[in-house]
Structure 1
Amino acid sequence: MFAQELRDRRPRPTGRWHLDEMVVTIAGKLLWLWRAVESEGEVLNLLVQSTRDTATAIRLMRKLLRKRGFAPEAIVTDKLRSYGAAMRELGLSSRHERGQRQNNRAENSHQPTRRRERKMQRFKSPGSAQRFLSVHAAVHNTFDVERHLISRKNLKSFRAAAMNQWRSATATHA
């Protein structure tokens, strides 16, 4: 699928990962969307689950470590105890940082999800939410450049590079 192709073309993520969870309503049920974001704001991984416990935190971390192939220098979380237990079990407790305001990078990454959720008039099933959010994260990571930080000339070149990546990933030519 083109989302995996886009993910494969991304540069290696930074060594500081932020983990957080948020509640989403899917088919009238409250479920948890677990998200891992790097320090630059790229979504590394996400997981839709019905629980907010240690087993789910371990599942997210194992999936993340397996996909990325390396352990980060630091893992920043909020004060949810499940993260601490998961880090201890995986042997990453020395890299774990927790704090109330240290995790703003992950908290801010929830805002686009809320906007998409409203536009779609809520997600219909956990599977469709997982698929949509995974694909959207890959596309968003490719096209999202922090335009307020760069010049117009650089923005145009970054967008052109993103379009080239998109065309090669989807095998389309314009």
Structure 2
Amino acid sequence: MFVTLRGEPYLLWQAVDEHDAELDVLVQKRRDKAAAKRFFRQVLRSNPVPRKIVTHQLRSYPAAKADIPELAHVKHVFVKAAAHVNNRAENSQQPTRRRERQMCGFRDARRTQAFLSCFGPIRQHFALPRHRMNAACHRAVLQERFVKWHGWSVTAASQKAI
């Protein structure tokens, strides 16, 4: 996914798991082997080694994967250009695009990286699978998550005050 920052294109690398949960985000200027390698290493630092990796047909992905020993036995599947409509990675970009429109675009690469790294987990905390639950269940789960969020925010605020 490309993001325009002050008129220059930047690449937004995203890792998504099988449940459509965003694992990691990285904003970079390049789309080469070194950039892909950096992204794979960053994802592996905070997540277990996956069984399968699904990517676009960009040649830097298999080249970077070959250089990382943890990914040597991981199956690599390529998504064809015609299949982008239902691709999990493509659908995971919709909230980012929506947020980008609301903010009238992103401006700085570091601030975009910091924002999107925090925005993904917070959004997923409140984005419920609405199509799988009735209204009463949705309200109850959302209320529970707001209580949890309030507990986290009060704890974080009290730690900053110390």
Shorter-chain TM-score tier: 0.7 to 0.9
> 3-state SS of the aligned residue for 1:94?
coil
TM-score scaled by structure 1?
0.80
Equivalent residue for 2:53? 75
Q: How far apart are the structure 1 equivalents of 2:100 and 2:121?
A: 17
Equivalent residue for 1:141? 124
Q: How far apart are the structure 1 equivalents of 2:42 and 2:101?
A: 28
Q: Which is further off, 26-35 or 153-162?
A: 153-162
Equivalent residue for 1:18? none
Q: How far apart are the structure 2 equivalents of 1:71 and 1:82?
A: 19
The within-5 A match list for 1:28-47 is 28-47=7-26
> 3-state SS of the aligned residue for 2:24?
strand
Any stretches of 5+ residues in structure 1 without a counterpart? 1-21
Q: How far apart are the structure 2 equivalents of 1:28 and 1:64?
A: 28
Q: How far apart are the structure 1 equivalents of 2:77 and 2:144?
A: 35
Q: CA deviation at 1:160?
A: 2.4
Q: How far apart are the structure 1 equivalents of 2:145 and 2:120?
A: 14
Q: CA deviation at 1:149?
A: 1.9
Any stretches of 5+ residues in structure 2 without a counterpart? 156-162
Equivalent residue for 2:78? 98
- The higher radius of gyration belongs to 2
Q: CA deviation at 1:42?
A: 0.9
The within-5 A match list for 1:1-174 is 22-68=1-47, 70-91=48-69, 92-95=71-74, 96-100=76-80, 101=83, 104-171=87-154
> 3-state SS of the aligned residue for 2:34?
helix
Q: CA RMSD in A?
A: 1.7
Higher relative contact order (CA 8 A, sep 6+): 1
Q: How far apart are the structure 2 equivalents of 1:86 and 1:155?
A: 42
> 3-state SS of the aligned residue for 1:76?
strand
Q: CA deviation at 1:163?
A: 1.4
> 3-state SS of the aligned residue for 1:45?
strand
1:77 partner letter: T
TM-score scaled by structure 2?
0.85
Check whether the contact 1:38–1:44 (CA below 8 A) recurs between aligned residues.
Answer: yes
2:77 partner letter: E
1:74 partner letter: K
